[in-house]
Structure 1
Amino acid sequence: MVSPKALIKKLFGNESSQALDSEQTNDSRVGQLKREFAEHPTKGLNPHKLYGILEGAEQGDLKAQSELFDDMEEKDAQIGADLGKRRQLSAEREWQIVPPDNATAQEKRATEHAIEVFTALEVEDLILDLGTGIGHGWANLELPWQRDGAMRFIEQPTLRPHSWFRLHPDDQNCITLRDHSATGAELWPLGWVQHRHRAKSGYVARMGLHRMLAWPYLFQNYALGDLAQLLEIYGMPARIGKYPKSATEKEKATLLRAVVSLGQNAAGIIPDGMSLDFLEAANGRADVYQAMMNWCERAKAKAILGGTLTSGTGEGTNTNALGNVHERGQMSLIRSDVRQYAGSIGKQILWPMAALNFGIEKPSRAPRFYLDTGETEDLERLSKSLPTFVDMGAKIPLWWLHEKSGIPEAAEGEDVLMSRAGRNPDAPGMEARRGMPKAAQNPFGALRTPASRPPLAALRQAPTQPGQPSYYRDATLDQLDDQAQPVVDAWVAQVQQLAEQAESLEQLQELIANAFDDLDETELAEVMATAFEAADLAGRATVAEELDEETGNAD
């Protein structure tokens, strides 16, 4: 049997044991990182400076780009709010850890241990920290390991600033800790969650969504500055001071101070013999700057959330349908995010714990982490559509209904909600309550299903009158069936049409009551009259036969 130390070296390398005893950022070689202050490269940002920052990141220097991205998210309300919303939509999901398929007893114990560890963590904070990788393209969280007897487990992972890292000059996908060397210090195995978030494809330096947002951020700041300058210049009337030719330099300076003071305080004094003229404020156009700012806002919303209507930057002519389309696009991004978070957590947290404590060597046999992305259907729409399909003969499994509605399935012996009919043990519906599935009943189902029995079938079950041959009654009812069925079918079709329009039994009752006077009774009256005549003739024939029998007996 392989010893734990040998297994650690086999799976994670020779330096993996260092991370179990200490955090790498406590090492003296990278200790200066904790004493650094951000340089805020957004100060004085212009296209030339921005291009240099992005190009330097591609060559391995991630510090300036990382600090630029942090500044953008901090200073731009649109970027901060939309990215925060996207991260929060993932972090608020319910998490679960499950064993692999056909799990062994050892793998089930590893799953139970992982659940116990994660219950003690702030999982929402963990997801929010991993979510910083959306803008940067990656996020590195340091893992503090603890020990409980022979069991190893992690405590709350710590997000380290992106500016602490650089790219290895020989490998554009290898991130190292900045130290005094040209390549940086390699990250210790088992010491980090190295999350790579593919918001866009490319090398590590170009995977971040902030690369796409940097230019709209710059252009919007230019437009905002120009707009502020426009309002400052053209929002006030021009003030012109006039001084005589004989004015001294001191008098000129006094007049200038008075002109400036009038602009700020609306009050001032000037020497005698000088004058001030106020000109009408110039008509500057602010709409061109506003148009540029609106374009930048929409561009950022599209990049982060996949649309504009879920971030409040849409036009005034938006419809609810367009909003639903944008929301579905946003949810597709969230589903992609949570799958990437789950992959990093499973491979870089759950698998190492399972390997260290339970000897599970394959990542595919480690416990699996999930964030619930189940989207339930609208319950009102589901309750109206399902009975229709059931009446049409669709065989819909109960598990599908529970999954789509989000309503959990009751366990054996668990109390369940019941209808009033279900509370009576002899009433219909008890089969479903006892665990025997029963098709849902649609109150309009009988109207939508063609009658399987003739309208007069109940009369056929009535007992024959004494002395009346059955063939007389059957012949009469057959004729009445044939003639009355088209009339009844027309009535049923009319009521069925009303049922399709009605949204409730009360509305159906009202529609039928209003349409009662329109039902054509003439044809049915003629059919019934004919039937009564036939019945009368049948009765006369019966009496005649009985008289003949009595006369024959007398003879």
Structure 2
Amino acid sequence: MVAIRGLISRLWGGGHQALSEQQTDEDDGAGTARIGSLKREFAEHPSKGLTPARLYQILEEAEQGQLKAQHELFDDMEEKDAQIGADLGKRRQLAAELEWQIVPPDGASAVEKRAAEQAAEVFSALEVEDLILDLGQGIGHGWANLELSWARDGSTRYIEQPILRPHSWFRLHPHDQNVITLRDHSATGAELWPLGWVQHRHRAKAGYVARMGLHRMLAWPYLFQNYALGDLAQLLEVYGLPGVVGKFPKNATDKEKATLLRAVVSMGKDARGIIPEGMAIEFQEAAGKGTSADLYKTMMDWCERAKAKAILGGTLTSGTGEGTNTNALGNVHERGQASLIRSDVRQYAGSIRRAILWPMAALNFGIEKASRAPRFYLDVGETEDFKQLADTLPTFVDMGARIPKWWFHEKSGIPEAGENEEILMPRAQPADAFAPGGAPAALKAPAPRRGLAALAVGKDGRETGDDAPELQLARLREEGDAALEPWTERIRQAVDDAESLEDLRDRLVELMPELKGEQFAQVMTDALAAAHLAGRYDILEGD
């Protein structure tokens, strides 16, 4: 126990208390500072009656350290705006559904490997997907604080499911805009206990803590869209029903006019009534109604696209793109979204390693350096195509490139086998494949011809001689046509099916990934090599 306390003091200062209780527990009556009253607070929902002046005031107060109103507004925005809620939920869910893994650091010792195994066992008992979703709140708010609860099994200490605490519970330290404290009755707030929190800072945009949340960028489109939506609702309320006009004769009495007025009012909501003979009621449509509604809709569409760009990096993965978008452009937007997810998961992994894995490794195994703590990964599936690796790697290795094994395993996604694990073996050669001399017959076969030598051999395998350039050119033409034949057929079909030049352009863009050029590239490589060698031969011979 003394050794653990000494380690905690060196690494995290006064972190002993967090190992036995939570900072937000209710006051125990013993005079200990508690923040339990925060659990009895209700949100004030600052989005109600929000105006540009009030929004500016909320954002300015947050920069001065008072975060409560800003982050309650952010919660309202995500709850009330379907576009913001759906896109942020999609971005968080894409990261949460990834497979997780905990591995020891590079060149790990036996102790560091045991620390990684213990951490993986602890995480297997947690709801890791919920943990990632909670950390994902930092995308919009800029940060997320999860309170830790520690337990122990004998001498082993481990964490239980971290709990996300509302952003409105916190404020900024008045003397340091990057320090978050718990709100209490003091001027600075209560300092967060070491070992008691996962303080995740998510840099969706640069800036201080109060300004690094993505919701700061979304607040203005949210406000403008609400104004446009409200104005559109008023327009529909006024012009949604056709105007009703009653006409009475010149000699109508006041009683007859009153009767007509009652009929007009009733017709507005009941669409039926009676009037004296000689009077008339006409239904008139307001001029320019459609044009006015289109103006509001244009404003709302702009706000929707602006929010989608800010959250997902594009509009086509959010359903707010224009109707003329192509599949190729959609793929570009999807790649931009994937880059955001990769950045998110790296930031989640860093916070988990720093606030959870390192403390557990230090307390249980005495690992004092954060760089030697286990690593947390979310597998984003960044692997290369197996066929492409198989085709290109042998070429580079034959050229003398020194390619480390770990790079191959990382790019292929194939894990490296441990010392005691069974591995796949190449298929055994049949017995008749061996020559009488004892060596495999395949090893005695001549190497495949390349370059000039390949072009100097006919299809029947016989040498054509160096004085047969016409035969070499004919063979090159034949092999090149065979390599390009699939391209020609697909492009011809696209031209026949296209309805316009724009349609043909889009079809060709979509077709490009399917046109494999490996065979044609090999033919051209052989041809260029042959031409190069023939030129060198002519120079040496003095021709």
Task: Work out whether 1:282 is the aligned partner of 2:287.
Answer: yes
Q: CA deviation at 1:145?
A: 0.7
Q: CA deviation at 1:399?
A: 6.7
Ranges in structure 1 where 5+ consecutive residues have no aligned partner:
429-437, 439-444, 460-476, 508-555
Q: Output the CA distance in 2 between the equivalents of 1:390 and 1:8.
A: 50
Residues 367 and 373 in structure 2, CA contact (< 8 A), matched pair in contact too: yes
Q: CA deviation at 1:427?
A: 8.3
Q: CA deviation at 1:282?
A: 2.8
Q: Deviations over 1:270-321 (max 9, x none)?
A: 6899754422333321221121111111111111111112212122222333
Residues 26 and 37 in structure 2, CA contact (< 8 A), matched pair in contact too: no
Residues 455 and 476 in structure 2, CA contact (< 8 A), matched pair in contact too: no
Q: Output the CA distance in 1 between the equivalents of 2:459 and 2:267.
A: 102
Q: CA deviation at 1:350?
A: 0.8
Aligned residue pairs total 464
Alpha-carbon distance change, 449 to 156 in structure 1, aligned in 2, over 3 angstroms: farther
Q: Output the CA distance in 1 between the equivalents of 2:245 and 2:432.
A: 96
**Residue of structure 1 equivalent to 2:20:** 21
Task: Work out whether 1:489 is the aligned partner of 2:492.
Answer: no
Alpha-carbon distance change, 120 to 271 in structure 1, aligned in 2, over 3 angstroms: farther
**Residue of structure 2 equivalent to 1:6:** 6
**Residue of structure 2 equivalent to 1:540:** none
Q: CA deviation at 1:247?
A: 3.7
Alpha-carbon distance change, 321 to 348 in structure 1, aligned in 2, over 3 angstroms: same
Aligned to 1:147, the other structure's residue is in SS state strand
Task: Work out whether 1:376 is the aligned partner of 2:383.
Answer: yes
Q: CA deviation at 1:413?
A: 4.2
**Residue of structure 2 equivalent to 1:451:** 454
Match of 1:96 among 83, 94, 101: 101
Q: CA deviation at 1:171?
A: 2.0
Q: 1:133-532, aligned counterparts within 5 Å?
A: 133-241=138-246, 247=254, 252=258, 258-268=263-273, 276-284=281-289, 285=291, 286-378=293-385, 382=388, 386=392, 403-406=410-413, 413-414=422-423, 425-426=430-431, 450-451=453-454, 481=465, 485-502=468-485
Residues 178 and 184 in structure 1, CA contact (< 8 A), matched pair in contact too: yes
TM-score when scaled to structure 1? 0.74
Task: Work out whether 1:132 is the aligned partner of 2:126.
Answer: no
Residues 242 and 276 in structure 1, CA contact (< 8 A), matched pair in contact too: yes
Residues 362 and 368 in structure 2, CA contact (< 8 A), matched pair in contact too: yes
Aligned to 1:3, the other structure's residue is in SS state helix
**Residue of structure 1 equivalent to 2:497:** none
The one-letter amino acid paired with 1:171 is: D
Q: How many percent of aligned residue pairs carry the same amino acid?
A: 67
Aligned to 2:24, the other structure's residue is in SS state helix
Q: CA deviation at 1:188?
A: 1.2
Q: Deviations over 1:24-79 (max 9, x none)?
A: 11132322211222221111111111111111111221111111101111111111
Alpha-carbon distance change, 7 to 379 in structure 1, aligned in 2, over 3 angstroms: closer
Q: Output the CA distance in 2 between the equivalents of 1:10 and 1:361.
A: 9
Alpha-carbon distance change, 180 to 314 in structure 1, aligned in 2, over 3 angstroms: same
**Residue of structure 2 equivalent to 1:111:** 116
Alpha-carbon distance change, 75 to 450 in structure 1, aligned in 2, over 3 angstroms: farther
Report the more deviating stretch, 264-273 or 326-335: 264-273
The one-letter amino acid paired with 2:355 is: Q
Residues 448 and 496 in structure 1, CA contact (< 8 A), matched pair in contact too: no
**Residue of structure 1 equivalent to 2:494:** none
The one-letter amino acid paired with 1:496 is: E
Q: Output the CA distance in 2 between the equivalents of 1:454 and 1:270.
A: 104
RMSD of Structure 2 on Structure 1 (CA): 3.6
Ranges in structure 2 where 5+ consecutive residues have no aligned partner:
28-33, 434-442, 491-543
The one-letter amino acid paired with 2:5 is: K
Alpha-carbon distance change, 457 to 317 in structure 1, aligned in 2, over 3 angstroms: closer
Residues 456 and 465 in structure 2, CA contact (< 8 A), matched pair in contact too: no
Report the more deviating stretch, 152-161 or 170-179: 170-179
Report the more deviating stretch, 320-329 or 273-282: 273-282
Q: CA deviation at 1:371?
A: 1.6
Alpha-carbon distance change, 455 to 215 in structure 1, aligned in 2, over 3 angstroms: closer
Match of 1:54 among 43, 53, 59: 59
Residues 456 and 481 in structure 1, CA contact (< 8 A), matched pair in contact too: no
Aligned to 1:96, the other structure's residue is in SS state strand
The one-letter amino acid paired with 1:21 is: S
Q: CA deviation at 1:107?
A: 1.9
Alpha-carbon distance change, 101 to 395 in structure 1, aligned in 2, over 3 angstroms: closer
